[in-house]
Structures are given as structure tokens and as C-alpha cells.
Amino acid sequence: MVKRIAAIVFIFICSSIAWGILSFTIFTRTYNFQDKLRGQVASIWGAEHYQSPPRASTQQTILKKVQAIENNQPVVKEIQDSVVQLLKIESSDIKVALELEHRQKGLLWYSTYKVAFNGTYVFINDSDTEDVTLTFTFPTSQAIYDDLVFKVNGEDSTFSNAGDSISTSTKVAKGSKVALQIGYKSQGMQRWTYNFGSEVSQVRNFRLVMTTNFRDIDFPENSISPSFKQQTDRGWELTWQYNNLLSGFTIAMVMPEKLQPGPLAGEISLFAPVSLFFFFFLMFIITTIRGIDLHPMNYFFLACAFFAFHLLLAYLVDHISIHSSFAICSAVSIFLVVSYMRLVVGIRFALLETSLAQFIYLVLFSYAFFFKGFSGLAITIGSIITLFLVMQLTGRIKWSERFAMATKPAPTQNQ
């Protein structure tokens, strides 16, 4: 009996090493090319959007006194210098619509989205000149912008393109206001951010309304939560509204992630030895109680059938959905075990005890990883229930007698 247990333990250790190699391979395939794949998705679809408010500026010429040396004597000279003055934003009225569309590349899903942006900004000219330059910087240079709207005081305005920004010049009387309307449709990925400025900024009469087609909203660190939120048929309507805000934070939305096939397959494979341990433990207890002769080679083939589940899952998730892959791999592994145990022990034992144990410890334990944050708790509860049932079923068994019967040699024909 001791040699049999040692052989089973050896098979378990070798299987665990194989699963460790498989999980390492999955994680390597997943993360080694992550940055490259992310760049490919961004080049095809669009990069993250970091939207800033437009700028209104004036340029004034002033006389500046500087010290110079003439004829070996220090002199003070007046030179003309150009100073750029930024005008204050009197009010901001912004509407943003985010449409989530996941895209898969390799073993990862990327949270891509479509965005429709429309904002009206009112500036007040508190400078000494009427020549005002209005400049709008795009949220990223790695994106396309369709249905572009650029209006000054409600009228379409011609603009010059400077690569990542567009600008126009207009006349605004001193103390008067000018309204700039910006609109576009674009595409991005992972996150959308509205930045008030590079440092702590003062925002007056600000209102931003964001609509989403998803319900799983997430606001990252160093971002402001909405003032109001209302659930809609498709997602949420979120409103940020402030009369006089002083903040260095941003308004941001992180797109919800889809279940990642690569990391999930890697985690399930990394956890596989735990599933096999409980399965071997239960098979050993049942066969010992019933006096069934299950050789270590039988345990070896059972371990191979378990490993087939994770090996097939690792390479199937590249081609079909993770749920379909999981269902196919479960069916294949259970078929291997049941068809084999039918020959070793019998159809009844294969269909009842063996298939049920495999379904619980391989399929259900692995499926617990689909529920982020609850997998550890679910597995712990299942383990405790298993321990309780085994202890209750074997509490009256004299293990010394059982092991003695198992090690007693079978009688020969001459005895």
C-alpha cells in the first residue's frame, strides 16, 4: 500500500510540474506580445483619448527693459516683446456619448469604444486687444475624427490644421464674449479622460453629460465622481456640474473589460493540481472502501485526461469564445475519463462516482474562475464540504484493517 501511495504521489507531482509549464506557456503567449498587440489595435481602431478644453489667447506687444553693454558701459535698453495671454473660460457645456465595442487580438480582449463629443465653450476677452486666437487640441493623434464641427458664435469657421490641433482667429471686442463649439466622432480604447489642465485649474459654470451603452461603469483614481447619475435602458447618463470648481483631478471613464481568455486559461491551469488532488483523494478513498483495485497506472491515465482539458483549453480559446471552449474541453475530458473507467472498473462506477467527482473538482472548480473575486471562496467552500462528507463516510472505518486487506497478496490457484 505504501508503494502504491508513493507511486500516486509521484504521478501527482509530475502532473503538477506539467501544469506549471503549461500555465507558464499560456502567460508567456498572453503577455509577451501584449504591448505589440495593443499598438496594433490602437493603430487600427484608435488610442486612448485625453481630451482638454480649447484655448483662447491674445498676443500683445510690450516694451521690456533689459541691460546691455555698449562701449564697455552698462546701459538699459527697451525692446519689444510678445506676450501671450490666455482668456478665461466663462462656461463649458459638453456632451459625450460612449459606445463600447470589444475587440480580440491574440489571447486578450481590448475595450475599444466609439465616442461622440460635442462641447460649447464661452470665453470672455479681458485683454487689451481684439485679436483672439481659438485653438482646439485633439485628444490623441492616433485616431480619426469624423463629422468635425468648428463654429465660432454659431457660425462655421475656417481653421488651420497644425497636426494635433486646429485653430482660427477672430475679432472679439474687449469685455465681450465669444462662443466656440467643437464636435467630432472618433474611436478609442481602454479609457476616456477629460483633463481640465496640467495643474490645479479653476473651472466656472461647467457641465458635462456623459451617456454610455454599458452599465459596468468604473471611475479610476484621481478622477471626479459624477454629480448626478441616472440609469437608462442602455446604460447610464452621468452628469458633472460645477459652478466654481478648483481641482487638479480629471473626469475619466474606464471601459469595462471582457473576460480575458488568456489569463483565465492560465489561472485555471495553474490551479489544476488542486483539482487533481481532490479527485485522486476521493478516488483513493472510494476504491479503498469498496476494495476496488485501482493501479497507479490507472491514476496516471486519469491525470492525463485531466491535463487534456487544460491543454485543449489553452489553444482553443484562440479561435472560439472562452465559454464555448470551456464546454468543449469539459465534455472531452469527461468522455476520456468515463470511457476509460468503464473498462477498468465498470460502467456504473464510471458514470456515477467517477464522472460526478470529475465534474465537481475539474469542471465546477475551474468554472469558479469565471466569477472574478469569488473563485477562492467557492473553491474553499467546496473543499470544506468534501472534507466533511469524506470524514462522515469514513469515520467508522478501521484503516489499519483496510490497508492490511489491500496489501494482503491474492491467493494462488495451488492454495
Query: Measured on CA atoms in the order 155, 184, 163, 194, is the torsion positive or negative?
Result: positive
* Cα distances (Å, whole numbers) of residue 220 to 49, 53, 223, 255, 309: 14, 20, 6, 10, 37
For the chain, report the end-to-end CA distance as a whole number of angstroms: 23
Residue 32 pLDDT greater than 80, yes or no: no
What does the H/E/C string look like for 342-408?
HHHCCHHHHHHHHHHHHHHHHHHHHHHHHCCCCHHHHHHHHHHHHHHHHHHHHCCCCHHHHHHHHHC
Q: What is the pLDDT of residue 34?
A: 64
Residue 414 pLDDT greater than 60, yes or no: no
Tens-digit pLDDT profile for residues 304-352: 999 999 999 988 888 888 889 999 999 999 999 999 999 999 999 999 8
Phi then psi for 99, rounded to 5 degrees? -120, 110
- Amino acid in the structure at residue 115: V
Q: Which residue has the higher pLDDT, 41 or 104?
A: 104
pTM above 0.75, yes or no: no
> Which residues are CB-contacts of 183 (< 8 A; sequence separation ≥ 6)?
116, 117, 118, 119, 147, 148, 149
192/52 Cα distance (integer angstroms): 11
Q: What is the mean pLDDT of residues 278-288?
A: 88
Q: Which residue has the higher pLDDT, 284 or 395?
A: 284
Q: How far is Cα of residue 224 from the mean position of the Cα atoms in its chain?
A: 21
Helix (H) or strand (E) holding 21: helix 2-31
Nearest of 99, 101, 102 to residue 110 by alpha carbon: 102
Q: Where are the domains of the chain?
A: 2-32+259-407, 37-254
Q: What is the mean pLDDT of residues 84-104?
A: 89
Tens-digit pLDDT profile for residues 102-145: 887 767 788 889 999 999 999 998 888 888 899 999 998 888 89
Q: What is the pLDDT of residue 329?
A: 94
Tens-digit pLDDT profile for residues 350-374: 998 899 999 999 999 899 888 877 7
Q: What is the pLDDT of residue 410?
A: 45
Q: What is the pLDDT of residue 319?
A: 82
Q: What is the DSSP string of 88-112?
A: EEEEEEEEEEEEEEEEEETTEEEEE
> Which residues are CB-contacts of 391 (< 8 A; sequence separation ≥ 6)?
none
pLDDT bucket at 36, cuts 50 / 70 / 90: low
35/358 Cα distance (integer angstroms): 38
Nearest of 32, 27, 318, 38 to residue 191 by alpha carbon: 38
pLDDT bucket at 411, cuts 50 / 70 / 90: very low
Residue 412 pLDDT greater than 50, yes or no: no
Q: What is the pLDDT of residue 249?
A: 85
Classify 388 in phi/psi space as left (phi over 0), alpha (psi -120 to 50) or beta.
alpha
Nearest of 78, 215, 79, 193 to residue 140 by alpha carbon: 193
Residue 282 pLDDT greater than 60, yes or no: yes
Query: Do 247 and 224 form a contact (C-beta atoms < 8 A)?
Result: yes
Nearest of 324, 112, 121, 318 to residue 204 by alpha carbon: 121
Which parts of 226-295 fold into alpha helices (H)? 261-290
Helix (H) or strand (E) holding 65: strand 55-70
Beta bridge partners of 82: 61
Q: What is the mean pLDDT of residues 252-265?
A: 86
53/122 Cα distance (integer angstroms): 11
**Domain 37-254 belongs to what topology?**
Immunoglobulin-like (2.60.40)
Q: What is the mean pLDDT of residues 251-265?
A: 86
The proportion of the chain whose per-residue pLDDT surpasses 70, expressed as a percent, equals 88
